[in-house]
Amino acid sequence: MRDLNGDDIEALAVGAWILGTGGGGSPYHGLINMRRLYRQGTRVFLMDAQALEDDDDVAVVSNMGAPLVSQERLVDSRLTARAVELMQEYLGRRFRGVMSIEIGGGNSIQPLMAAAHLGIPVIDADAMGRAYPEAQMTTFAVGNLAPAPLTSVDPRGNEVVVTRAADWKWVERTSRKICTEFGSVAATCKAPRRGIEVKRWAIHGTTTKAIRLGRAVMGANRRHDDPIDVILEAERGKRLFAGKVIEVERRTTEGFLRGSVSIEGERRDRIQINFQNEWVVVWRDGAPLATTPELICVLDSDTGEAIGTEMVRYGQRVTVIVLPAPEIFLTPRGLELVGPRAFGYDIDFRSAFAS
């Protein structure tokens, strides 16, 4: 168990944004919630997943909905805590710790906010290792773990428990519907996990990883080193391409932001990246260069800061890198859920690190 200090949380926000792989929403509101809580003397502890007992109960939290709506509703740490409390009330048991469903983007801070109010530790793990657009795109779904119950709350005092769901797709559908009624944003506590399930199926050490990544970038910028070199070294990543954004095309379908961006290099060569909230496939001359589940990150070439699919625009100078995927997503069941076909691309997954 270790004490997270203020600098850790600042670094977490930077690192989690990079692990958002283009989506996941900005961690900024979560960060200022935490700054305020820390100023009031609150402290949050980080607990190793392996330190859990098999029959411990672990809460899994996330903020659901459109990032744009959160920009107006803002994020409230008490609401996340309330979703966890509601789950405790429903289960009649208390949680040993709380973890995030996804370490990429704003959800990385959600367990810290709940932990701050509930006085339980954050478990150093998540179920995506990055950001993904849909609830069934998790290691817990890979493990065929129970998809329900789920709690969902809004700030007006509306609280819903989804007690049962036929499968992961159904829990996504019903909870999405509730979220839409709440105003397209809701604090949710996903299906709770036993300690043994977290140890077997979660991706471990991802909070620490995000903090390490954030510290690397912040340190490089302070020292005027190349932050991208530092990221690649720290996470054993690969530099795919560098250039200027020359075209961006976006559309919303089924509530997702889909589209593509073209990047032109110094030698006039081009790549194209397709996205569905997050970056999904990088193409060169009609052939895939990198695909999900490997982490495709588009970074500002100067600052190393991640650029999201909502904000990418013509003229930006960017570097595209790829980071290794968690092993569990490279299994047949993993690729079925988060491989290129899960996003509608009829191609086989081939690691960008293979060539």
Pairing mode, strands 125-126 and 159-162: unpaired
- 69 or 146: CB nearest another protein: 69
Give the per-residue contact string, 100-139, with another protein (x = CB under 8 A; - = no).
----------------------------------------
For the chain, the maximum distance between any two Cα atoms, rounded to a whole number of angstroms, is: 63
The closest of 25, 33, 103 to 66, measured between CA atoms, is 25
Span near another protein by CB under 8 A; candidates 45-53, 90-98, 119-127, 150-158: 150-158
Task: Please work out the total of residues on this chain that contact another protein, with binding judged by CB under 8 A.
Answer: 41
Instruction: Name the residue nearer to another protein (CB basis): 7 or 249.
Output: 249
Q: Does 164 bind another protein (CB under 8 A)?
A: no
Q: Distances in Å between the alpha carbon of 54 and those of 3, 126, 192, 250?
A: 23, 17, 13, 45
- List helix spans (H) across 40-146: 67-73, 77-91, 110-118, 139-142
For the bound state, the minimum distance from the C-beta of residue 106 to another protein, rounded and expressed in Å, comes to: 13
Applying CB under 8 A, which of residues 20, 22, 65, 149 lies at the interface with another protein? 65
Is 183 a binder of another protein (CB under 8 A)?
Answer: yes
Residue type, 141: A
- Member of 315, 332, 354, 355 binding another protein (CB under 8 A): 315
SS3 content of the chain, % helix, strand, coil (to 5): 35, 30, 35
For residue 251, state whether it binds another protein (rule: CB under 8 A): yes
44-47/122-123 β-pairing: parallel
Nearer to another protein by Cβ, of 33 and 291: the residue is: 33
Q: Does 260 bind another protein (CB under 8 A)?
A: no
Q: Which is nearer to another protein, 77 or 100 (CB)?
A: 77
Beta bridge partners of 271: 263
Q: Which of 20, 44, 60, 73 binds another protein (CB under 8 A)?
A: 73
Alpha helices in the chain (DSSP H): 6-19, 28-39, 67-73, 77-91, 110-118, 139-142, 168-181, 195-201, 206-223, 227-235, 332-338
Q: CA-CA distance, 279 to 260, in Å (whole number)?
A: 9
Residue closer to another protein (CB basis): 44 or 66: 66
Contacts with another protein, residue ranges (CB under 8 A): 23, 29, 32-33, 36, 65-69, 71-79, 155-157, 180, 183-184, 244, 250-252, 255-257, 266, 277, 302, 310-311, 313, 315-317
